[in-house]
Structure 1
């Protein structure tokens, strides 16, 4: 459920926003508008310039058509939703909107050219518009990275009032602080009445408690907040949420509601009206069938190609390991795969030979909670091993496990048998899919994550996996690994 009008049509038409965050939103959307137009203009000039250099005569009608398409380009993207506020900054919605808008304009021009038997539009359909689409997608990608950098230092943030129980609010605060690219900052909280009575001045990790559930509208008005995030709680039923939405209409404040069913999103969720009531329909994830077959074929083809391309670098790494420390270059360890089946994972050795024996003497120095064992400056790691771990080069031999079908390129982290023995019922859910060389845990903090955060990310992947999600994670893994963040 979402209430609010932070949509592009209102912003671009010059509506005056109430809150200061809408000022940078308008400026950001204007930059997108200008940049998209420039991309189309450059594509038009490039195509026309190449034709002129080739000695092709270009009639005035074709010049007019080209610059007409430049004007139509941002309009088409707007119609496709590329300037909606909620589409920019994260997720694939923005890129889908740009792609759909660009392809739609290509199709419209092609159909018009065919219907009128006009030949002058072919160069634009075959060259200009595809070039404009590629340039626009690249521009949007760079703008998104710029926005994320600004948000990482506290700029371009939306002020949020969190409504819910203490634990839920604290969890939301931690997640927003860990992932500032979402552009959300909790500036206040509203707790249930009984929580206020028990502790009139509770500590929510620096977030002030500004009222109870009945004070949300007045708190938003007083704090000039941009959004309200309602977390799952029994006190706020359908009628209470409806009244809250009504109270926020006049201030045009966005309302976000977290469903009780966590970690399920995307195409698995749809709202269907049944007997006059909007019911949330949740489809079951697909762990077998065509989608799994496609994923398996994709994994093995990519793993095989990567092994061929990286054969010489892999041999060089193995040679360096053998020359700098005693012991074999490869390290084999029993891990638990899909369905709880054991397999031997292969990695480059990054520790001394008797590392497993020394582990018992270092249990007291464990820096992670839960069942994981990690030490930031582990004395068992060799100098070459530290470098390999920083850039995840020690994981490359796992391509053999992927080729054998024991692992996937993307999936939950492959656990040790002793870790699985300590799993609860919920955590065992991560064993219904193959473990992966990378995953949401890899692109969201790696070893800097707590045990609970690592489990949450793995379960989120299990519930929402798709080939598109795998491709997104693989793309993000490259940037995370090259920066060497969170690895030890």
Structure 2
């Protein structure tokens, strides 16, 4: 790798075509809406169509809509496309409001335009995705793959490729210079020869894409291989297999002209942080409006069934390990917030008359939507633990504190997968942390959307919550 580096984001080979169709659809749908409503388009409509086109491109680029989706699901593609479209609608409406030109447009035409363009954007993606899927299933639009490194990482890569045939990758075999006894034998990964043979197969056109799965300790050998492959037509992917790669949201960064791999990073950067905050404000505002009356009823019930404050504010760690005050309806006769906090257990004597019910149904956590509006919590994220529990488990569970790379949430990936409630063993906490880190590593608006849906159906009541 040269001084300036050559690592780039993966770009969809059809990205230019996607952009063209998206812009074409926006324009054609406006014409169709005007035709249906029987009006002629004027300069004002052409201007708003230009604003819409630029707004959609901006939103789509911000959300990486045009990245490679070879291994992505159609649901996620449609979700990201829809979010891009709704952001476009918001920008267009904002433009009409700021320019005081809303009266120059037919509301019916604008509504039809937005609806048609949204539906058309999704439908053509479904159709194009299906065509690519059929082609790749039948051996077309595929890429012949060679793997340099006959090891466990190479076998796992083949497993992933075989599990997602829609990627269009076809594995030719593995290449390795090591002795036969050091090579991992697997029916999934045919051994084709040494690395020199890989070069020959590339030159012969038998391999189009190369994945290097050698360990990072073989950095000099990898550098030699990259130097040779840099003079070929093959696409080259380096598969990091050092232990930290799978821990968190890894990404390529720059320090001046030098590229680095950020390992313990947060996905909440720039536009993503903004979108996450918008998501939180919208969800919390809507939910608080819906639950305001039940919250008043619960507050009165807490007040009249036991002595003490209605709201219990407990110190917990927030983003970057900073202490925050998490709000809850008081469900116990004690308000522990010191160096030692005893977790609630089954038939706990400290529970108030309605405390057990509140905790089992998660109703005690409703005030945390106020935390979300304050900006100290998110609707979705790792559940915050009492400071005392943090200090105890951070010494027992590896990478425990990495869960604080993002804001804590009211619901999370661990909770909808059954790791909620009392963590009376280190093993239970380890599983919760495992799911928390998996969430951080794979965060997306689509994942948040799925977690919220699952929470609605199965996340409120849990047998492990006391």
TM-score, length of structure 1 as denominator length: 0.49
Instruction: Report SS of the residue matched to 1:235.
Output: helix
Instruction: Report SS of the residue matched to 2:211.
Output: strand
Match of 1:399 in 2: 366
Match of 2:167 in 1: 183
Alpha-carbon spacing, 1:193–1:407, altered in 2? closer, same or farther (3 Å): same
Instruction: Report SS of the residue matched to 1:228.
Output: strand
Q: Structure 2: how far apart are the matches of 1:296 and 1:35?
A: 27
Match of 1:48 in 2: 35
Match of 1:303 in 2: 284
Match of 2:379 in 1: 409
Aligned pair count?
A: 372
Instruction: Report SS of the residue matched to 1:279.
Output: strand
Alpha-carbon spacing, 1:441–1:49, altered in 2? closer, same or farther (3 Å): same
Q: Structure 2: how far apart are the matches of 1:314 and 1:171?
A: 50
Residues 152 and 184 in structure 2, CA contact (< 8 A), matched pair in contact too? no
Match of 1:26 in 2: none
Cα deviations across residues 368-389 of structure 1 (Å, max 9, x unaligned)? xxxxxxxxxxxxxxxxx9xxxx
Match of 1:329 in 2: none
Mapping of residues 190-205 of structure 1, within 5 Å: 190=174, 192-194=176-178, 196-200=179-183, 202-203=185-186
Match of 2:212 in 1: 230
Mapping of residues 127-276 of structure 1, within 5 Å: 127=110, 133-139=117-123, 160-164=145-149, 166-169=151-154, 172=157, 180=164, 183=167, 187=171, 190=174, 192-194=176-178, 196-200=179-183, 202-203=185-186, 207-211=188-192, 214=195, 215-217=197-199, 227-231=209-213, 233-236=216-219, 237-247=222-232, 249=233, 253=235, 255=237, 257-258=239-240, 262=245, 269-271=252-254, 274=257
Mapping of residues 16-55 of structure 1, within 5 Å: 40-50=27-37, 52=38
CA shift for structure 1 position 435:
2.8
Mapping of residues 313-352 of structure 1, within 5 Å: 337-338=317-318, 339=321
Instruction: Report SS of the residue matched to 1:234.
Output: helix
Residues 29 and 113 in structure 2, CA contact (< 8 A), matched pair in contact too? no
Q: Structure 1: how far apart are the matches of 2:144 and 2:411?
A: 33
Structure 1 counterpart of 2:410, from 437, 457, 465: 437
Task: Give 5+ residue unaligned stretches, structure 2.
Answer: 1-6, 97-103, 299-311, 332-343, 348-356, 420-427
Residues 160 and 185 in structure 1, CA contact (< 8 A), matched pair in contact too? yes
Alpha-carbon spacing, 1:95–1:293, altered in 2? closer, same or farther (3 Å): closer
Alpha-carbon spacing, 1:94–1:296, altered in 2? closer, same or farther (3 Å): closer
Alpha-carbon spacing, 1:342–1:123, altered in 2? closer, same or farther (3 Å): closer
Q: Structure 1: how far apart are the matches of 2:395 and 2:412?
A: 22
Q: Structure 1: how far apart are the matches of 2:165 and 2:452?
A: 18
Residues 189 and 210 in structure 1, CA contact (< 8 A), matched pair in contact too? yes
Cα deviations across residues 82-129 of structure 1 (Å, max 9, x unaligned)? 9967257467897499769989xx9xxx9xxxxxxxxxx9889x9487
Q: Structure 1: how far apart are the matches of 2:24 and 2:225?
A: 45
Structure 1 counterpart of 2:259, from 279, 289, 302: 279
Question: What is the root-mean-square deviation of aligned Cα atoms in Å?
Answer: 6.8
Q: Structure 1: how far apart are the matches of 2:204 and 2:30?
A: 48
Higher helix share: 1
Alpha-carbon spacing, 1:170–1:291, altered in 2? closer, same or farther (3 Å): closer
Instruction: Report SS of the residue matched to 1:475.
Output: helix
CA shift for structure 1 position 453:
8.7
Instruction: Report SS of the residue matched to 2:225.
Output: helix
Q: Structure 2: how far apart are the matches of 1:412 and 1:162?
A: 37
Instruction: Report SS of the residue matched to 1:246.
Output: coil
Q: Structure 2: how far apart are the matches of 1:101 and 1:412?
A: 27
